[in-house]
Amino acid sequence: MFRIQITTGGKVPIYRQVVDQIRSAIAGGVLAVGDPLPSVRGLASELVVNPNTIAKAYSSLVADGVVESQQGRGYFVTQHRQIYTKRERKRRLEETIAPLVAEAVTLGFGEDELIAEIRKRFAKMTNR
């Protein structure tokens, strides 16, 4: 079972952190189609947040077709083709790239070296 961790007092609202972590767990294969999500009250208690915050996160996931609510049973991961919209995928990629580029510049790597390393890693991860 995966664990959701939140950061309070940050820029990202708690419900959004919950949504993002559930989406990541699905995309990463940690949660599969048919897997149940923690109950609203249970997760709210575990994270020490208002149950309405978790309900808002789950409602967002239902609206996006990522999970479904089954009356009296809870929330479950649904069959899906795309976990993230194209815009959301681009936003998440940009958020990931910015610190990577900053670190590469700090370490003295040039653009060509950085791109070469990214290509190597991509090839390794996609078995190319």
pLDDT, averaged in runs of 10, over the chain (128 residues): 86 93 86 94 96 97 91 88 72 87 94 94 75
Q: How far is CA 112 from CA 97, 100, 108, in A?
A: 15, 14, 12
- Which residue in this structure is represented by tokens 């900053």? 102
Eight-state DSSP code of residue 48 = T
DSSP-assigned states of every residue in 57-110: HHHHHHHTTSEEEETTTEEEEPP-S-SS-HHHHHHHHHHHHHHHHHHHHHTT--
Tokens of 20: 């993002």
Residue 96: what pLDDT? 85
Residue located via tokens 């978790």: 54
Q: Other CB atoms closer than 10 Å to residue 78's CB: what's the count?
A: 15
